[in-house]
């Protein structure tokens, strides 16, 4: 069968119809091949950038390299290409001078808008009488921290210059760290009077505090009556601590930072006491008295209450009408609640003396072990 078919092929090709079909098939194959080659050549030509396009890219890349060098910023090729892609608004893959100017204007406008909004937040805060009282309290608190820091340094054997240095660090280091973290101007560089007050307070604390302590001694006694000035000092420090924590949290709010970041900024004021303990060779426990961790806990709690009430106020007044309370939460109430929370934590820590507010890791492990043992025995 196969042999007969093979012998029949030449005969079939001799037929006019078969011959025409074969010629048409060959002609169609040649046309298709020619079209595919033409399309491939056109595609390759379209992918190849024109000479003027390539020159424009090189011009933009060189321009960005020169601008970066003049500003002290070295840009890689990929970084410059990303800038060109961001600036290209007409989709031609090039960056003109007008497109570069528009890109810079967009970024500058965003920064200026953020700064303008922050200024009006600060203005709305400063217009309140409670805010003025808070700032005065925080300033007095920084001065008082400086006095106590100088007194501690003097008790450790430092002379007046060393005690003044330690006192200024105690009173100003927390606010300095806060300002550096948010990229703001440090308070005592903007207002040198604050530094002068702290320096004068340090000298007074070095010379006058021991003298007052001796004058308060009973006749024939070897020291001041127990708790004669500790309660007063602890109380003043607690109020100053709460005020400083609220002010520190406000700095984050004014800068438009996340509420959690603003809350954590309130704890930065505790680093003044940590710096004092380091310089005086004392154990750093973020506290002043009673061996409790009330210093950092009180600052964190006070700042947290203020930030929470601020968020509640913004949510309440975020729309065209109030949602919960008419007028929102007054700033005076927010400040009072924040400072009051810090003072309450400090008072509770004083009441618990000499126990700590929280267990140490070893104490917690021991308590958990005992609890597990009782649980297993009961089963």
Q: Is residue 156 part of a domain?
A: yes
User: Quick check: helix, strand or coil at residue 294?
Assistant: helix
Q: Mean pLDDT for each consecutive 10-residue tract of the chain (379 residues)?
A: 47 48 54 58 49 61 86 85 85 81 84 77 69 79 87 87 91 88 85 90 87 67 48 80 88 87 87 82 58 74 92 76 68 89 89 72 86 85
Task: Report the chain's mean pLDDT, rounded to a whole number.
Answer: 76
Same-domain pairing of 181 and 270: yes
Q: For residue range 213-254, list pLDDT tens digits in order.
A: 777 665 555 554 444 446 777 787 888 888 888 988 988 888
Q: For residue range 255-293, list pLDDT tens digits in order.
A: 888 899 999 998 888 788 778 878 888 766 554 444 445
Q: Is residue 59 part of a domain?
A: yes
Full residue range of the structural domain in which residue 200 is found:
128-215+234-360
Q: Is residue 197 part of a domain?
A: yes
Same-domain pairing of 180 and 211: yes
What DSSP designation does 76 have? -
Same-domain pairing of 70 and 92: yes
Query: Concatenated DSSP letters for 325-348?
Result: STT-S-HHHHHHHHHHHHHHHHHH
Answering whether pTM is above 0.75, one says no
Q: Is residue 349 part of a domain?
A: yes
**CATH number (domain holding residue 71):** 1.10.238
Same-domain pairing of 68 and 155: no
Q: Is residue 224 part of a domain?
A: no
Same-domain pairing of 202 and 323: yes
Q: Is residue 25 part of a domain?
A: no
Return the closest-CA partner of residue 225 out of 215, 238, 236: 215
Same-domain pairing of 243 and 148: yes
* Token output for 167: 């006192």
Whose structure tokens read 């984050």?
Answer: 252
Number of folded domains that form the chain? 2
Q: Is residue 14 part of a domain?
A: no
């Amino acid at each position: 069968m196969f042999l007969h078919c093979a012998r029949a092929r030449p005969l079939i090709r001799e037929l006019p119809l078969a011959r025409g079909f074969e010629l048409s098939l060959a002609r169609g194959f040649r046309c298709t091949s020619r079209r595919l080659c033409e399309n491939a050549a056109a595609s390759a030509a379209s992918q190849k950038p024109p000479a003027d396009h390539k020159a424009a890219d090189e011009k933009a890349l060189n321009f960005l390299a020169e601008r970066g060098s003049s500003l002290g910023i070295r840009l890689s090729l990929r970084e410059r290409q990303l800038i060109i892609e961001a600036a290209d608004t007409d989709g031609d893959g090039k960056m003109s001078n007008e497109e570069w100017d528009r890109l810079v204007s967009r970024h500058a406008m965003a920064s200026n808008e953020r700064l303008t909004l922050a200024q009006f937040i600060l203005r709305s805060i400063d217009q309140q009488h409670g805010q003025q009282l808070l700032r005065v309290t925080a300033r007095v608190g920084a001065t008082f921290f400086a006095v106590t820091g100088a007194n501690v340094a003097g008790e450790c054997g430092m002379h007046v210059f060393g005690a003044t240095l330690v006192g200024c660090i105690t009173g100003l280091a927390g606010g300095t760290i806060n300002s550096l973290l948010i990229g703001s101007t440090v308070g005592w560089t903007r207002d040198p009077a604050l530094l002068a007050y702290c320096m004068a307070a340090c000298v007074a604390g070095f010379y006058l505090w021991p003298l007052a302590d001796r004058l308060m001694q009973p006749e024939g006694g070897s020291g001041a009556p127990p708790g004669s000035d500790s309660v007063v000092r602890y109380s003043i420090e607690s109020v100053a601590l709460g005020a400083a924590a609220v002010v520190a949290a406000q700095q984050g709010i004014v800068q438009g930072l996340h509420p959690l970041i603003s809350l954590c900024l309130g704890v930065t004021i505790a680093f003044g006491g940590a710096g004092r303990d380091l310089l005086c060779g004392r154990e750093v426990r973020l506290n002043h008295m009673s061996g409790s961790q009330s210093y950092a806990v009180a600052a964190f709690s006070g700042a947290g209450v203020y930030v929470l009430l601020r968020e509640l106020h913004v949510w309440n007044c975020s729309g065209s009408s109030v949602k919960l309370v008419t007028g929102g939460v007054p700033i005076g109430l927010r400040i009072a609640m924040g400072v009051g929370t810090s003072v309450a934590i400090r008072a509770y820590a004083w009441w618990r003396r000499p126990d700590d507010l929280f267990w140490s890791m070893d104490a917690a492990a021991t308590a958990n072990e005992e609890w597990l043992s009782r649980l297993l025995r009961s089963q």
